[in-house]
Amino acid sequence: MGAPRQMWASAPWAEDEPLECTMIIPETADCATIAFRAPSGAWFDYQPGQFLTLELPLPGGPVHRTYTISSSPSRPLSISITVKAGPDSLGTRWMLDHLRPGMRLRAKGPAGAFSFLRHPARKYLFVSAGSGITPMMSMTTWAWDSGEMPDIVFVHAARRPADIIFRRRLEGFAARVPGLQLRFTVEDVDPLEVWPGYRGRLNQIMLGLMAPDYQEREVFCCGPEPFMRGVREMLAALGHDMTRYHEESFAAPAPEGVTVDIPAPAPVSELAFAASGARIASDGSETVLSAARRAGIVIPSGCNFGLCGTCKVQKLSGEVAMVHNGGITEDEIARGLILACCARPQGTVVLDL
């Protein structure tokens, strides 16, 4: 255990510096918070609710995984994510089994538009399930630290009370300020524990009891895609103004019901790589990411559906058809950057790789 030390650099952390793991804190039986610092002492500048993409050195080669940040930028000396390994997880499983304090990882970000700072409102409704609680925790900690807790109804769904991540910390906040109201619902109770919260899946009646004025609230939702779809459809059916509904997902390419116009494949496309000299033919229906992989060029990627920005590459010439989910700005597109995971070459395209 190290002695306390002064560590404060004048510049914010930039992604060319690896992150050093400092702590791994168990949260529930299958979930842990992993805290990182910048070895230079740089501080972290981001918006509560944003995400970070980590490069994980798996035995078969590095993989990129995107995680919502669970810490708050109001505590800028470290940054943390809170992870739970699903049954098919590779990257998160590796972190829980192998990552130890002192190890360093490359990271990109922070990025993302899912933050209540971008949608100022008098009243909020946070709705989360499972590890979808992480961006809500970041935003709630920010509100607490700022000393101006807005009116937040915080609804969280979990399997059992023991699975509620951050329960004690949130109850500590809620016990001290009037603005934060916690509403937990669980599918099953724990043995030998009195459960005073809701029981069962979130539904319209439950929502009406938890937040009778939900129509007046700016809604932030995060959780598994089926959960978010249920919340989205429920609110839409109840006549909620869906321009005031925001969700974060790292699991689905595009919300159901959203049609995406992908131009018909260009008859003959070619991808050329200026730095390596490689070239590969493509019919224009596959993404730049997979065509590059066929040419033996690995472009780092995370979400694979245009959200995290990990696969951003510089295009030198040519046209691509690109349908993204917010992982790139208009300004970056104007400068010729593309997201390889969701861009399809239209004719000959030259990349700076």
Q: Contact positions toward ligand FES, by CB under 6 A?
A: 301-304, 306-311, 327, 339, 341
Other C-beta atoms within 10 Å of 322: how many? 20
Two tokens, residue 47: 């918006």
In terms of CB distance, is 53 or 115 closer to ligand FES? 53
In terms of CB distance, is 230 or 302 closer to ligand FES? 302
In terms of CB distance, is 310 or 346 closer to ligand FES? 310
Rounded CA gap, 124 and 121, in Å?
7
In terms of CB distance, is 71 or 310 closer to ligand FES? 310
In terms of CB distance, is 144 or 305 closer to ligand FES? 305
**Residue 77 Cβ vs ligand FES, minimum distance, rounded to whole Å:** 28
Which residues are 312's β-sheet partners? 339
**Residue 83 Cβ vs ligand FES, minimum distance, rounded to whole Å:** 18
**Residue 342 Cβ vs ligand FES, minimum distance, rounded to whole Å:** 6
In terms of CB distance, is 48 or 306 closer to ligand FES? 306
**Residue 82 Cβ vs ligand FES, minimum distance, rounded to whole Å:** 20
Residues present in the chain in total:
353
In terms of CB distance, is 152 or 271 closer to ligand FES? 271
User: Which amino acid is located at 47 in the chain?
Assistant: Q
Rounded CA gap, 159 and 92, in Å?
20
**Residue 257 Cβ vs ligand FES, minimum distance, rounded to whole Å:** 22
Q: What are phi and psi of 233, to 5 degrees?
A: -70, -35
Which residues are 212's β-sheet partners? none
**Residue 333 Cβ vs ligand FES, minimum distance, rounded to whole Å:** 13
Two tokens, residue 211: 């937040």
**Residue 238 Cβ vs ligand FES, minimum distance, rounded to whole Å:** 32
Two tokens, residue 238: 């109840």
Question: Which among 132, 137, 37 has a CA at the least distance from the CA of 83?
Answer: 132
Strand locations in the chain (E): 19-28, 31-37, 51-58, 61-68, 79-84, 104-111, 123-129, 151-158, 180-186, 198-199, 218-222, 245-248, 269-273, 279-282, 312-322, 337-339, 343-351
Q: What are phi and psi of 104, to 5 degrees?
A: -115, 140
